[in-house]
């Protein structure tokens, strides 16, 4: 039997008996990924890393860390302010996943395992009790205490921080003893355990004095912060880590803005791993035995954001657009077949994913008929384009041309990336990518509700809100159906244009052996790799 934090489920069992969330749907997707990986000709080491079930962090047995791994990234950290809850960013999360621990943790399949908490038990449908380890220490030598955990979680419950959206407002921690706490949500919150596996535990002293986050990070994770200088973030193995010393002594995240410079740095050996590479980069290493490729990627999708305060507030028009745009053609030609076409409002590698029954096949005639009926005098859409999304200019040109073909006038404005990012929701339609921070679909589904839904899409739908809330309070038996219903509502009404998944590919130098990833943004397993000199 298993435990799931939700309505009607309550089995008071401890995690040592069974500790995995039921994400069968994700297992199928993972098997699908494994198949595609093998079909793409990846090396056995990468494929093995995806299929084996290893302990959470299998670190150096002899207590000695050695070697260095350098990641080449296309973006820098969002700031030199190392509060992981203050923002969202790839490099921020890459670093935070190594600098900090959470109460729980994710394994390679995105399932929840012990972290700072050694075991846990549901007390009722809103409260979970956890036992915390006593040997965890922050990098400055101070012990991780219940007070630190309370401060880290309570502040998100207050709703003032960017990452407050991963929890329910009002979530709080009650300290029972030095090593026992209770986390309580004011309402039933299905993704609770995923949230506890994501929220980083910080020193209360830093939370009380936020200036401490400037230019330094003090976590309890397997790596310590060394420096952020000249586009390079340097972390070093924590020799006193409770989970054992990592194999790799130094982890470096290097920002290289130019795509050509990034691939040159990889080919010349200056960086070891390139993140989120393009199809062009993949072709540069095809057949090169010095490198291998892995595609274990966080759930991400390419969407065209619709603003519902204009013509695209009309669901018939949105469905017409879905028929007008040849998504299969775009996926084959522009994306070189590397991304799966969307058949749901969720990415295929998210937990509880199911393909939706309704198909929006490419049918310009059907689309034209809908537009003519709804808008006999014509309709105009404003679109902005930029270079934020890979191949965006090409994709946007195809979309604009497709819409023109069915009788929609499209006014396209090309913007510089910064201007595009700051003004996207003042245009009717524009392309964007959406990356999630763990495999639970609640994060994505939540974006279409409340303040986020208003800000991103000008979307506020009472019917959808009912379905979303139902998915959050569903039991393990019914959660799949509830999530499919919520995702299906978004899909059937084409609340936004779901173009495709965005699979992230990572090119790895062969000198790094045993590199594996979880379907997350962070690099929680990098310390387990070994580096040959």
Partner 1 sequence: MTKFIFQRVSQAVIIVCMITITVFIILRFSAGDPARIKAPVFARADVIEQYRRDFGTDRPVFEQLSTFVTNAVSGDLGVSFRYQAPVADLIWDTLPKTLALAGTALLISVLFAILLGSLAAQRPKSAWAVIASTVAIFGQSAPVFWTGSILVLIFAVTLGWLPAVGYTGFSSLILPAFAVMLSILPTQLRILRAAMERALEDEYIRTARAFGISNIRIVFVYALKNAFLPLLTVIGLDAGYLLGGVIVAEVVFAFPGIGELALIALNSRDFPLIQGITIVSASIFVIVNLIVDLLYTALDPRIKLEKT
Using only C-alpha atoms, the chain has a radius of gyration, in whole angstroms, of 23
Provide the binding-site residues for partner 1, judged by CB under 8 A: 76, 78-81, 87-89, 159-162, 165, 214-215, 229-232, 254-258, 260-262, 264-265, 267-270, 305, 417-419, 421-424, 432, 434, 447, 450-452, 454-456
CA atoms within 13 A on the CB side of 33: 32
- Residue 278's alpha-carbon distances to 98, 213, 272, 368, 418, in angstroms, are 26, 34, 16, 34, 21
Find where tokens 């990627």 sit: 297
Q: Which is nearer to partner 1, 113 or 308 (CB)?
A: 308
Tell me if residue 244 falls in helix, strand or coil.
coil
Which tokens hold the place of 305? 């954001």
Q: Which is nearer to partner 1, 229 or 289 (CB)?
A: 229
- We find the least distance from the C-beta atom of residue 182 to partner 1, in angstroms, to be 28
- We find the least distance from the C-beta atom of residue 38 to partner 1, in angstroms, to be 29
- We find the least distance from the C-beta atom of residue 232 to partner 1, in angstroms, to be 7
Provide the β-strand partners of residue 175: 181
Q: Which is nearer to partner 1, 54 or 455 (CB)?
A: 455
From CA 424, how far away is CA 432, in angstroms rounded? 9
User: Strands, E, within 112-201: which ranges?
Assistant: 112-114, 117-122, 127-132, 172-177, 180-184
From CA 431, how far away is CA 373, in angstroms rounded? 27
- We find the least distance from the C-beta atom of residue 422 to partner 1, in angstroms, to be 4
Nearest Cα to 330, choosing from 354, 369, 303, 348? 303
- We find the least distance from the C-beta atom of residue 60 to partner 1, in angstroms, to be 27
From CA 341, how far away is CA 502, in angstroms rounded? 9
Q: Which is nearer to partner 1, 256 or 346 (CB)?
A: 256
Vertex 37, ends 34 and 38: CA angle to 5°? 90
Q: Which is nearer to partner 1, 213 or 292 (CB)?
A: 213
Q: Which is nearer to partner 1, 48 or 417 (CB)?
A: 417
- We find the least distance from the C-beta atom of residue 215 to partner 1, in angstroms, to be 7
Provide the β-strand partners of residue 306: 429
- We find the least distance from the C-beta atom of residue 376 to partner 1, in angstroms, to be 35
From CA 226, how far away is CA 168, in angstroms rounded? 34
What is the DSSP secondary structure assignment for residue 270, as one 8-state letter? Answer: S
Q: Which is nearer to partner 1, 82 or 525 (CB)?
A: 82
- We find the least distance from the C-beta atom of residue 13 to partner 1, in angstroms, to be 35
From CA 393, how far away is CA 71, in angstroms rounded? 27
Q: Which is nearer to partner 1, 49 or 157 (CB)?
A: 157
């Amino acid at each position: 039997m298993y435990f799931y934090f939700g309505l009607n489920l309550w089995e008071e069992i401890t995690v040592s008996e069974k500790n995995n969330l039921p994400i069968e749907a994700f297992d199928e997707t993972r098997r699908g990924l494994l198949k595609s990986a093998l079909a793409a000709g990846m090396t056995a080491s990468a494929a093995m890393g995806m299929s084996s079930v290893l302990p959470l962090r299998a670190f150096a047995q002899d207590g000695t860390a050695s070697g260095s791994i350098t990641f080449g990234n296309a973006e820098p950290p969002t700031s030199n302010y190392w509060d992981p809850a203050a923002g969202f960013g790839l490099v921020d999360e890459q670093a935070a996943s190594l600098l900090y621990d959470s109460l729980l943790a994710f394994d390679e399949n995105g399932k929840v395992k012990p972290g700072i908490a050694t075991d846990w038990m549901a007390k009722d449908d809103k409260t979970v009790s956890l036992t915390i380890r006593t040997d965890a220490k922050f990098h400055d030598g101070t012990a991780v205490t219940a007070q630190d955990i309370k401060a880290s979680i309570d502040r998100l419950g207050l709703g003032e921080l960017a990452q407050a959206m991963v929890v329910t407002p009002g979530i709080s921690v009650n300290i029972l003893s030095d090593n026992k706490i209770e986390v309580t949500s004011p309402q039933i919150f299905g993704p609770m355990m995923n949230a506890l596996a994501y929220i980083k535990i910080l020193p209360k002293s830093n939370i009380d004095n936020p200036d401490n986050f400037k230019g330094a990070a003090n976590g309890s994770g397997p790596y310590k912060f060394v420096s952020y200088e000249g586009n390079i973030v340097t972390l070093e193995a924590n020799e006193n880590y409770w989970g054992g010393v990592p194999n790799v002594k130094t982890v470096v995240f290097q920002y290289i803005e130019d795509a050509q410079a990034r691939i040159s740095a990889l080919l010349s050996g200056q960086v070891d791993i390139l993140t989120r590479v393009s199809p062009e980069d993949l072709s540069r290493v095809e057949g090169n035995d010095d490198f291998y490729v892995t595609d274990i990627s966080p759930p991400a999708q390419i969407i065209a954001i619709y603003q519902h305060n204009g013509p695209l507030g009309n669901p018939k028009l949105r469905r017409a657009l879905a028929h007008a745009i040849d998504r299969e053609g775009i996926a084959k030609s522009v994306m070189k077949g590397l991304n799966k076409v969307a058949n749901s409002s969720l990415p295929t590698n998210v937990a509880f994913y199911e393909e939706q029954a309704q198909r929006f096949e490419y049918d310009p005639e059907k689309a034209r008929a809908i537009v003519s009926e709804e808008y006999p005098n014509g309709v105009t859409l404003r679109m902005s384009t930029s270079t934020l999304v890979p191949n965006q200019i090409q994709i946007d040109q195809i979309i604009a041309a497709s819409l023109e073909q069915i009788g929609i006038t499209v006014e396209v404005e090309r913007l510089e990336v910064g201007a595009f990012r700051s003004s996207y929701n003042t245009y009717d339609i524009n392309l964007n990518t959406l990356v999630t921070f763990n495999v639970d679909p609640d994060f994505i589904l939540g974006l279409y509700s409340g303040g986020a839904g208003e800000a991103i899409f000008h979307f506020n739908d009472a019917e959808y809100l009912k379905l979303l809330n139902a998915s959050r309070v569903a039991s393990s038996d019914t959660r799949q159906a509830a999530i499919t219903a919520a995702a299906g509502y978004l899909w059937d009404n084409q609340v936004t244009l779901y173009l495709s998944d965005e699979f992230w590919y990572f090119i790895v130098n062969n000198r790094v052996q045993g590199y594996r990833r979880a379907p997350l943004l962070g690099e929680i397993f990098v310390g387990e790799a070994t580096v040959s000199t």
